[in-house]
Structure 1
Amino acid sequence: MEDRAERQKEAPLSAITPQPTRRESSRVRAGQLLQRYGVLVALALLVLFGSLRYEGFLSTYNVFTVLGYNSMFGLVALGMAFVIMTGGIDLSVGSVAAFASVIAALLSPFGLWPALLGAVAAATLLGLINGVVVAYLKILPFVATLAMLLAARGLALLFAGNQSVSVDSEHGFTTLGQGNIGGVPFTAILLFVAFAVGAVVLRSTRFGRHVLAVGGNEEAARLMGLPVERTLVWVYVLSGALAGLAGVILASQFGAGQPTEGLGWELTAIAAVVVGGTLLTGGSGSIGSTLVGVLLLGIIFNILNFENGRGTISLSAYWQSVIRGAFLLLVVVLQNQLTRRRASGGG
């Protein structure tokens, strides 16, 4: 009797709670599947399209060229993914990469390792400054990293003397950007290794769980006793270090430290991260999907290059920035719609 009375008391509450209809539930599930696997499906369709339309699209040379060139953007996007998962943003990555390329070129006469370690250390220091300003001085990430964007660009021009710095190719520095193992570029191997490590860090370490917790709700994470400030510092340090590594690859691959390079790299990185399904609000994301986003953007521009070669279209390099911006806006709008549907569907 008591159980029946309890059920009768609870019944009116559940009756007035709006329940999603079958159609709404189906839309929510479809949205979740699209957000999770849409980028992978898009990548597969682009590869299929390219292989059917262009001769040599799946050739070893073209595949490795795409992977080798986009390794720089991939490394920057990997660091950006961790930053965005905390609810932050790093607008300085392009300038930090340019600065690192100059430092690497200046240190290249001493060999690969001194140049690599010196450039990454310098970029890591800039990332550390970003992290301290954001975490402890409580400056908005947009403002803090925008200031670093300007500072790093100025440092790059200052150290380079406002011109490109040629690298010393006699002491093995160019091996990183131009060498290969069994035909596979070192940079491509480095890209996949970095993303594999990043995926393990995010899903299987305390730091990865802290990143997601801070991005999900910073105040709740602080109340739980998590090291919020330390986590924020470390994600910006990681972003700076990976941007520095991308800068070393830039100098090694093209034979010069380029202080004016890196313009728009932050946009490419953000686009790849968002395309991969990581929420700009933080608290959710996937390292594997970020890699797919990097490859998707890389193949889009590779296809445009093939079309230019066929004479079908004629787009200058400046159109790449236009396409990146439009693509990012489209994905953000789509992501916003999917998030709203999922929230209205109760899941």
Structure 2
Amino acid sequence: MVSNGGNIPDQAKMRADSRGLTKGDYIRIFSTVLVVVAVGLVMVLVGSANPNAIEMLSNHHTKSKIEHVRNAHDDDRLEELTRLASAAQSEAKQATALKSTEAHKLRITPESKVDAELMLAREAAKKSKTLTAEISSIHSKVRVMRKKIRRDNHAAREEDRLLHKVQGGLRDSMLALHDKEMKVLEARHDVQNAAKDGDVAALREAQKRLANRKAIAKGARAEYDEQKKRRDQVAARDRLLRSRAKDDVEATEQMRATAHNDKLHAREEAAAARAIRARANYIRDQAALDSAQSKYSTLAQLLADPSSDHTQVEETLSKIASNIHSWKELKGQDEKALAAKVSLYKRARTRLSSKAIALADAAAAAADRVGDAGGGAEKAYRAAGLP
């Protein structure tokens, strides 16, 4: 049948041309199919003739699968090892960079030396200011304690005067009691004599007189006991005030000794700060001088190069030489200043070690002074042998 004015072979050819296939392509495809079919037939025939052939093919197929799985597993392990190696390499690079950074930080340079010296100087100056502030605080406390000591000493003196007065009254009471007891003894002798004589009237009169004198002596004894009790109370108050004043004086002396030691320490720290700062200036001058001399040596080598601008080099060398001269003068001045500051620091340290006050010694001296000054009335009546 003819459709659209063409025959079937022409249409097939047109479709083949539209797909891009030629007659040679069809021949090659057909030949490949025949070869595959022939190989399959040969394998079937060989398998039917040899019973182990199928098993061999099966084993070959299994080995192929195992090899494929093994290769896939090896690929995964290789990928994992590659990832781990990459991570380890990255960490090694970071460690190397960190090590170089730390090494750069630890590298001692003139600038780092100057910074370290200035830091030490600032710390010493800060400590000196802190000690000075503490000294001011201690002085304020000492002023308050001195006022309290004056009040306690004034009260102790008042109690001391009162104790003298009470001691006088106690002495009078003791003499009066002695007189009354002697009269009681006389009245008792009168009673005994009247009883011996047998005089009833004299005996009754002597007994009445004895009873009256006993009552009077009892009153004198009560007055004496009251005076003695009052004396003990006043003496106890006096001892309390003296003891409190003694403790306050010891605390004040310890604070004064602490302030004195802190003052010496603050002076030492201030001298150390000045000496360290002078040393930093000296190191800075030395570093600048070394740098200028290095630049001068480097530029001086350019004079031997005919291609260099000798005029410009000579001008630069002249400026550097002037700077070197200035740095040398400044270095000499800073060297003298450093020697002076170090000498002052040594003197301050020696003064601290020689003039520092031991707190125990200060407290003992204060106790001795207070002990010698206080308790005069109590010592007097103790020396008099009064009970």
Per the normalisation by structure 2, the TM-score is: 0.16
Q: Of Structure 1 and Structure 2, which has the larger fraction of its residues in helix?
A: 2
Q: Which of the pair has the greater relative contact order for Cα pairs under 8 Å at 6+ separation?
A: 1
Q: Which structure: larger Rg?
A: 2
Per the normalisation by structure 1, the TM-score is: 0.17
